[in-house]
Amino acid sequence: MFYDDMITPSTLKREQGRVASQLAEITERLDAFKAGCVDARVRVRAYLALAANCHKLYTTCDEPKKRQINQAFFTRFTRTEDHHIAAQYTSIYDTILDPTNRLHADYWQRTKQLHPAATS
């Protein structure tokens, strides 16, 4: 449009500035998203490693560390009238240890497919 004299040089400069600004913002947001994904992977791997070795870790710790481990995994323990203990996981372990989520994760890993939410 500029070459055909349909817009003025000042309009062209203004639009170039606007587009450059939007592109810089998008690039910044994309970089932050990528960094967040890397951080999330590191955290999930750490959570899984802790869950995989929690018994060994728990048995080798002193009482204050055992308390921290319990707090990392659980938000509440409840004893019923018939003396059964029920545990409520923290949100991260509730998600990770949910049987349905585990089945889905196993399937996606075996088939090398992404979760449908990751493709949208």
Regarding whether 46 and 69 lie in a shared domain, the answer is: no
Q: Which domain holds residue 88?
A: 62-113
Regarding whether 44 and 74 lie in a shared domain, the answer is: no
Question: Is 75 part of any domain?
Answer: yes
What pLDDT is stored for residue 24 in this prediction? 94
Regarding whether 66 and 92 lie in a shared domain, the answer is: yes
Regarding whether 67 and 46 lie in a shared domain, the answer is: no
What pLDDT is stored for residue 36 in this prediction? 79
- Mapped onto helix, strand or coil, the DSSP state of residue 8 is coil
What pLDDT is stored for residue 117 in this prediction? 59
Q: What is the pLDDT of residues 68-113, one digit of tens each?
A: 988 988 999 899 889 899 889 898 888 888 888 878 878 877 887 7
Q: What is the pLDDT of residues 39-70, one digit of tens each?
A: 877 888 888 888 888 888 899 999 999 999 88
Number of domain units in the chain: 2
Pair 89, 75: CB distance under 8 Å: yes
Whole-prediction pTM: 0.50
Pair 36, 47: CB distance under 8 Å: no
**How far out from the chain centre does Cα 65 lie?**
26
CA atoms within 13 A on the CB side of 82: 0
Regarding whether 70 and 41 lie in a shared domain, the answer is: no
The first and second tokens of residue 82, run together, are 């018939």
Regarding whether 71 and 48 lie in a shared domain, the answer is: no
